[in-house]
Each structure stands twice: as C-alpha cells, then as structure tokens.
Chains A and B, each alone.
Chain A
C-alpha cells in the first residue's frame, strides 16, 4: 500500500476544504439568483401595508420598529431608566435624525 507523505496529505486536506468553500460560494451565488418569489411576498406586504421595519425583535417597541423609535429609545421610559430588554443591548439607539429646524 502506498503511504502518502505528510505534506501531500496536508495539501489534500486543504484542497478538500477549498472545494467545500468553493461549493458554498457557488451555493450563495445560485441562491441569490432565485430570491424573487420568496422576497416578493415580503415586498408586496411592505408596499400594501406601508411597513417601515423588519420584524426581528418583538419584545419592545423600539426593537420592533427601530426606524420609528423615539430619539432616546433605550431610555424612553424616563431619563435614568436602565435598559431592561436583552435585545436593547443588540439594537443601538437610532441614527441621528432630522432635528426640527
């Protein structure tokens, strides 16, 4: 039985890993070309119901609708309120908004 030298075994392992990675890149490419049907269901609802946010975190108002949240959203209950929702540590306060001029 032929025993491969260690460097050859290593190269084969790396080649296998690269092949897996290439297959995943191909998978991403193929999947990104077929999104129309899946995404169109969401887009239709966004258009019909005039939605402004993604439904990612439903626990608090400002994490359900971060784009519509108050300016000081995480501290909205009162100025020294401690943040009490776990996703509040994941969702940052909204970006700087238009100030009344």
Chain B
C-alpha cells in the first residue's frame, strides 16, 4: 500500500471514529438527510414513470379531438360538423365521441361514462373498469342502477369488467351502448360530446386543425401532441405536484445545510485546534472534514435512492397515497413500469452531496486557519 493511500485510509478511520463519538447527533443527521433524498427520489421515480406510461399508453389516443366552445365552455358539438370536417383534405376518419360524467350518490364516486360501438355489448348492459367494480362492490352479472335525467333509476347489468392491468386508463370507466347513453342523459339529438379526428399523415395535423378553426370558429381542436404535453407539464419538475413537494424538500435541505454551514460547535473547534497543535496540517483537517461529509452524504444518498425506488415500484407510492387521492372516492390501483433516468439521478447526486460537503468543509477550513492556541481556548 502506498504511503499516500495509507494516510488517506488513516484519516478516514479517524473521521469514522470521530463521527461515531457523536453518534446520536450524526445518526439523526443521517436519518433526516436520507428522508429528504428518499422524498425527492420517490417523486423523481414516480413522475418519470408516469410520464413515460402516459406517453406510451396515449400513443393510440385520437390524433385530434374537436370540442365546441360556447361562452368559453365545452358544449356538445353538432354531429353535422363531422361531415364537413371529414371533407377536409388529409382527414381519414371523423368519429363522434359520446362521453360524460356520472356522480354516484351511493358510493360518492365519479364515474366516466363512454358510449362506444361494441357489437358484443347487449342493450342495457355495461362494461366497467376494475375501480368501479371495487368501489360499488359488483361483479359480472350484477346490476348497477344509474339515475336518468328524470331521477328514475335504470338498471344496467354488468357484462364485462375491464382487465385490472388497464386501471391506469379505465378504472372509473363505464362503457355502454350509444342509445343507452343518449337515453340516460336525454342527450340533445344530433349532438355529440366531441369529435375524434384521424389523419392519414400526422405531419398534416397542424394544417387540419387550423382549417377546422377557420371553418368552425366556435370549435377548439386539441392535438394528440397537446394531450401528451399536458401530462408532461403536470408531471414536469417545474410545475404542479413535483414543484410543491420538491420545494418543501429543497427548502428543508437548505435549512439543514445552512445550520451546518453557519458554524462548528465549540467542541469541534477545540478538536481542530488539538489536531493542529499535535502536528496535523490544514490540508489534513480539510481532508478529515471532507471525509466526514462524504460518509454522511454518500450513505444518505445511496440509502435514500434505493428506498425511494422500493417505495414507488414495490409499494405503489403508499406514503403519497393520501395526497394523490385528494377527495377521490375511486382511485386507480396500478403498478408502474420502473424507469431510472441516469441524468436525474446524477443531478440529484450533485445537488445533494456537493452542497453538503461544501457546507461541512467551508466552516472547517475557516476554523483550521485559526491559531491552534486560540481555537483551543475559544
């Protein structure tokens, strides 16, 4: 072993002994540090996985959805618009979508009702998402009463339950036949909720959307790219969910580092003075303090990241469950496909380990440059 390596190992041994001497303080420091990294890592893993899942699942979403706006709000669109839109060059198909919401007073849950042509679905029969089955405690063959516009209950028999693997898109869905949907809501005839437009060439979508707005100024086209971007922005670190929790975690880290950086305890100053008086160089003291910082921050980082991963992908983000559920009665239960973005992990490493080591070393450097006699007497 080279003398230089031996020297570093000796200083590391000393640093570990020094940390262990104040084990109460340092273990609590390690626990808080690990907790902060754990929270940040959980958010990073959760949002990255959701963003990726949204991008992959919504690949098959409609190319373009056309809504009608009345007084700035979404209103049923005349089905006659579909014929005119279908005539626009580049449009391959226009399908009216019939969907809406139903508040179930029994369970207090909100369901999404979708009418879609499925020849296998019988009249007054429904296909439901696993979340609906779980919340209403019903299964295939049971009846689900839905109140129509006049308040009379209509009994729908459950013909099918969507696979639980599809909960991320279909937990609260109730699929029914178009005539049942129109009758239940007494939907205005000749109207649909909105129109789904398919284009042969995705590059033409922008032009098609502009043409639709030109021909029908009361409409608002929403491109597939905009739908995907919505999820990107919801789960982006700069906004919404992530910003709220990240801000709290980063602030607590700053307070924590600030506390560390604003000064050493009298005991630590005295220790530095003694070390210098028995012949330690300033560089040795700095090395010692750097090692102390590295031991704490590296251990916290590795443990925090691993625990964050386990929390998100093995325990389905159970600690954030209440924040995510809000007032929802019906909440999807889904397992996310793990994603580890090396860029974000490196960023997390640099932003957590770097500042902490700096916050440990800088005050030690200030103390190490003071005369040992003064340091010991202080």
A residues adjacent to B (C-beta < 8 A): 5-7, 9-10, 13-14, 17-18, 20-21, 24-25, 27-28, 31-32, 35, 37-39, 41-59, 61, 63-68, 70-72, 76, 85-87, 89-92, 94-95, 97-98, 100-101
Contact = CB atoms under 8 A, between A and B. Distances in A.
A47 B62 CA distance: 8
B339 interface: yes
B213 A17 contact: no
B196 interface: yes
Contacts of A65: 112
The 10 A-B pairs at the shortest CB distance, nearest first, are namely A86-B326, A28-B338, A17-B302, A67-B227, A87-B326, A90-B241, A6-B16, A47-B60, A41-B165, A41-B166
B222 interface: yes
Interface string B91-135: 000010100010000000110101010100000000001010000
Contact of A42 (B12, B168, B323): B168
Contact of A46 (B61, B97, B313): B61
Contacts of A42: 57, 165-166, 168-170
Contact of A31 (B13, B214, B337): B337
B233 to A, nearest CB: 5
A54 B73 contact: no
A55 B12 contact: no
Contact of A7 (B12, B67, B163): B12
B181 interface: no
B226 A67 contact: yes
A10 B60 CA distance: 50
Interface of B: 9, 12-13, 16-17, 20, 50, 53-54, 56-62, 65, 67, 72-74, 95, 97, 101, 109-110, 112, 114, 116, 118, 129, 131, 162-163, 165-173, 175, 194, 196, 209-210, 213-214, 217, 219-223, 226-227, 229-231, 233-234, 239-241, 244, 295, 298-299, 302-303, 305-306, 309-310, 313, 323-324, 326-332, 335, 337-340
Nearest to A61: B101
B56 A49 contact: no
A35 B162 contact: no
9 contacts: A21-B302, A21-B306, A28-B340, A31-B313, A43-B56, A45-B173, A58-B110, A58-B330, A87-B328
Given A52-B62, A95-B226, A98-B220, 16 more contacts: A6-B17, A6-B20, A10-B12, A14-B302, A27-B338, A32-B338, A42-B169, A45-B169, A49-B114, A52-B61, A56-B50, A57-B328, A58-B331, A76-B73, A85-B327, A91-B241
Contacts of B196: 50
Contact of B172 (A14, A28, A55, A94): A55
A70 B70 CA distance: 11
A99 to B, nearest CB: 8
Contacts of A20: 302, 306
Contacts of A87: 324, 326-328
Contacts of A17: 299, 302-303, 306
B222 A67 contact: yes
A27 B13 CA distance: 34
Contacts of A89: 240, 244
A24 B106 CA distance: 43
B326 A59 contact: yes
B50 to A, nearest CB: 8
Given A55-B131, A67-B222, A90 B240 contact: yes
B208 to A, nearest CB: 12
Nearest to B73: A70
A25 B340 CA distance: 7
B118 to A, nearest CB: 8
A43 B239 CA distance: 27
Nearest to A25: B340
A64 B72 contact: no
Contacts of A38: 165, 335, 337
Nearest to B12: A7
B340 A24 contact: yes
B240 A24 contact: no
